[in-house]
Amino acid sequence: MSPDFLIVGMERSGTHWVAGLLNGHPDIACFPSLPFRPEKGGNKIGEVHFFDTLVSIDGDNPDKYTRPISDWLTKYNRVFADLVGQKDKMSREDFVTMSVKRYSDYCDSQRGEKRIVGEGSPAYIFHLDFIDSLYPSIPKICIIRDPKDKIVSWYFNKMVRKGTDTIPSITKDFAFDYLEKRIMKEYEALLKYAGTVHCITYEELSEDTPKAVKGMVDYLGIKAMDDNISHMIENAAFQKQTARDSGLSGREKGEEDPKSGLRKGIVGDWKNYLSDDLARIIDESVKDLRNRVFEKYRVRY
């Protein structure tokens, strides 16, 4: 067996929400649908970063967002740990074949009794051609978000890693570092890719969730009745997600924890953290790339 679809990005744009929505369908399994919290006894199924790790056998390149094979020794639930020692004992082709079989088997283990299974990581957006070389024409879903809200979300993520509740103002240097090193690179990756990706925006998903969800399910070739869609939306709601994460932060379900990667993701939240001038500069800097991606993938503005 093999994965039936992938969520390929973008970072800080709602990939966990998309996974949670799809996982709520009776015929669709999708992981991870919650932030990975094994140290607290919580969700134990995290991103496996399969493609951005395996591609590193052709040479590590930080600009292409790869991870070393050695990561498999200690990370991602050690699903691939025993394969690391085999890398230099066989040909590239044999190692890739063995790794792909392990990944496919792992995806199948998460399928359960459901008809199709998918997995995702925002890093996959940089390896779309490599993915196709292993799983030709596999359906891909990408969620795109206002760059300004992405920058704010990334800033909160950095604060989480520092273990602080203090959120000082976001500087132009911080905003443009993330804009140039990540956001623009994501748009460029989509423009370079010659294949098909089902792209939606975070704003579209927030504004008309049932319609966006139905579009994703239709794209995957699965039927979705109105009650299915209602259940999917309820299953992935922030209130439900925080209930599953209960006890991990000492906060009530439905309450946002500044130290958690799980945020409400309010559209336009950037207005609370970015000056109007900085927001305008960000928009102008990414406008051309964003418009070209929207046109290419027929994304609704």
User: Domains of the chain by range and CATH?
Assistant: 5-296 (3.40.50.300)
What does DSSP say about strands 116-120 and 28-31: parallel, antiparallel, or unpaired?
A: parallel
List, edge to edge, every strand of the sheet that includes 116-120: 28-31, 116-120, 5-9, 140-144, 198-201
Q: What confidence tier does 205 reach under pLDDT thresholds 50, 70, 90?
A: very high
Check: CB of residue 172 under 8 Å from CB of residue 280. Answer: no
End-to-end CA distance of the chain: 37
Residue 123, classed as helix, strand or coil, is: helix
As a whole number of angstroms, the distance between CA 215 and CA 206 comes to: 14
Q: Return the structure tokens found at 209.
A: 């969730």
CA gap 105, 93 in Å, rounded: 18
Which residue did the predictor score with more confidence, 32 or 150?
Answer: 150
SS3 154: helix
Q: What is the per-residue pLDDT for 62?
A: 56
Beta strands in 107-151 (DSSP E): 116-120, 140-144
Contact in structure between 221 and 118 (CB atoms under 8 Å): no
The answer to which of 40-49, 96-105, 117-126 has the lowest mean pLDDT is 40-49
- Predicted confidence at residue 271, as pLDDT, reads 95
Average pLDDT, the chain: 88
pLDDT value at position 32? 87
Banded pLDDT at 261 (limits 50, 70, 90): low
Is the pLDDT reported for residue 139 higher than 70? Answer: yes
44 pLDDT exceeds 90? no
